[in-house]
Amino acid sequence: MRNMPNSKKKQLKAADKKKIAATLDRYQRDGVMLVSILQDVQAELNYLPEDALKEVSQGLELPLTQVYSVATFFKAFSLKPRGRHLVNICMGTACHVRGSVGILEKLEQELGILPGETTRDYRFTLETVNCVGACALGPIVMVDGKYHGQMTADKVDAVLKGYE
C-alpha cells in the first residue's frame, strides 16, 4: 500500500505496537472481528496509519489489501491524522432548511479549515454528515458525539470554546 494517503509518514512507536497487539489478543486474533479491531485501533491512535494496518494484517494473517479495503470502505475510519475533537455538522434537509450552511461557514471561518480537514494544532477535525436523525433539534452540530441542537452561527464560538 505504497500510496496510502497518510499526511505524515511515521513509524509506529513500540507502545503503539503493543496496544495493537493487545487489541488483537482481546479479539483472539479473529479476522471476523476486523471492523471492531480497526475501531479499537483507531480509538487508540486517533486514526489508522499505514503501519497500524500492516500490524493488523500480520496479526490476523489477512492480506493487507483486505484490511485496507475495510479501512477505506467505512467513512468512520480515517487514514489521516484527526484532531482531538471531531466536529460534525448535519447537512440533511431539515438542518439545511434551518441554516446549517451558514453554521458550516462559521465553523470553517473559526477553525480555519474546510470539511475533511484538521486544524494545524490537531485540536479539531471538521466533517459534514448527511443526517444524524435528530431533525427536530436541527440544525445540529456534534462534537465528539455530543449533540448541540438548535445551533446558530452565533453559538458556534461558545460551543468550540467548551472543547479548548
State pLDDT tens for residues 148-157.
999 999 999 9
**CA nearest to 140, candidates 78, 93, 77, 76:** 93
CA 109 to chain centre: 20
Query: Which of these ranges, 9-18, 58-67, 155-164, has the smallest mean pLDDT?
Result: 9-18
**pTM of the predicted protein model:** 0.76
pLDDT tens-digit readout, 75-117 = 889 999 999 999 999 999 999 999 999 999 999 999 999 999 9
Residue 85 CA to residue 123 CA, distance in Å, equals 6
CB of 126 within 8 A of CB of 144?
Answer: no
Q: How many CA atoms lie within 13 A of 142 on its CB side?
A: 18
Cα separations in angstroms, 103 against 119, 121, 139: 18, 22, 8
Confidence of residue 2 (pLDDT cuts 50, 70, 90): very low
Confidence of residue 9 (pLDDT cuts 50, 70, 90): low
Residue 35 CA to residue 20 CA, distance in Å, equals 14
pLDDT of 7 > 60? The answer is no
Confidence of residue 10 (pLDDT cuts 50, 70, 90): low
Q: What's the pLDDT score for residue 76?
A: 85
Provide the residue ranges of all domains of the chain, joining segments of one domain with +.
14-73, 85-161
Question: What's the CATH number of domain 85-161, 3.90.1300.10, 3.30.40.230, 3.40.50.10420, 3.40.30.10?
Answer: 3.40.30.10
Other Cβ atoms less than 10 A from the Cβ of 92: the count is: 19
